[in-house]
Amino acid sequence: MYIIIQSVITGILLGGLYAVIGVGMSLVFGIMRLTNIAHGDLMILASYFTMLFAMEIVGNVFLALLITIVLMLILSFLIQTFLVNRVIDKGPEPSLLVMFGVSIIIRNALILIFGANNRTIPNPLSTTNILNSPNISISGGYLVNFIVGVAVVLVLMFIIQKTYFGMSIRATASNRMGAELLGVNTKRIFAYTLCLAVATASIAGLLIGQTFVFYPSTGPQYLITAFGVVVIGGMGSLGGTLVGGILLGLVQLLSAHFFGTGWQTIAGYVFMLVILTIRPQGIFAKARR
């Protein structure tokens, strides 16, 4: 019994991390209709940046994250302005291919610079248990991941739903020509959207780096996690990513408990396929015409 409760707790906590992994992808899809296939690699790139700054240059994780976010924002603005915006009017496929190219470039650049060895960002909390009873324990690292994940999703929802800037993002998503006719430079809005998404990916990168080991080719693994979260929660629904993340975490942990750890990953994707079959738009998104 306690083991099940333990699995549920860990699953929910893991879900918070999954939410922040998926939320940027959901945002980019919801606003631009672009499947950002480089999302995972951008996250891992952020993991490397944060590791580099935290361990070699500034020595402080928070400062390192700030510098990483700034660098990632500049990078994503350049990617959007000079690559994606040039092809985005030509349908979804060209921009998908562009992001595929970005993904390959990032992965190979990381191998060239950092080598193929696995890395990690040291985190004192990852070995500390917040709650440590004989039957149930809560890892400090996982709890922090969960809190940060929920906070990121809530802040993003606030920006999109309550600010004028967020309103212009929603307007662009709803009717691009209608927004342009009100003076909104929609390509600029797309660039800002990717920047927001990449800022969340940078935070995800730090959390991943502190929780698991990473190496240049881990990106696709987290891309698939992001896909799972977004498909379950609903493409474009930010609140849905939180629910999608938690459900995915729960399914993985509970299947590991009942069927053995070997089933953990596959159970997640079976669940994703079930959701795709019974509710293809995801749990929270409205069906698009």
Chain contacts with another protein (rule: CB under 8 A): 164, 167-168, 170-171, 174-175, 177-186, 286
Q: Which is nearer to another protein, 161 or 261 (CB)?
A: 161
The identity of residue 84, as a single letter, is V
- What's the min distance (Å) between Cβ of 245 and another protein? 23
- Please state, in angstroms and rounded to a whole number, the distance separating the CA atoms of residues 243 and 206: 22
- What's the min distance (Å) between Cβ of 177 and another protein? 6
- Please state, in angstroms and rounded to a whole number, the distance separating the CA atoms of residues 284 and 106: 32
- What's the min distance (Å) between Cβ of 86 and another protein? 14
- What's the min distance (Å) between Cβ of 102 and another protein? 25
Q: Which is nearer to another protein, 187 or 265 (CB)?
A: 187
Q: Which is nearer to another protein, 55 or 180 (CB)?
A: 180
Q: Which is nearer to another protein, 186 or 211 (CB)?
A: 186
Q: Which is nearer to another protein, 173 or 247 (CB)?
A: 173
- What's the min distance (Å) between Cβ of 194 and another protein? 18
- Please state, in angstroms and rounded to a whole number, the distance separating the CA atoms of residues 106 and 71: 14
Give start and end residues of each alpha helix (H) in the chain: 2-32, 39-52, 61-79, 85-87, 92-114, 140-162, 164-174, 176-180, 186-211, 219-233, 238-259, 264-278
Closest CA to 26 of 189, 181, 197: 197
Q: Which is nearer to another protein, 177 or 278 (CB)?
A: 177
CB atoms near residue 181 (< 10 Å)? 9
Q: Six-digit token pair at 74?
A: 């500049």
- What's the min distance (Å) between Cβ of 43 and another protein? 29
- Please state, in angstroms and rounded to a whole number, the distance separating the CA atoms of residues 52 and 64: 8
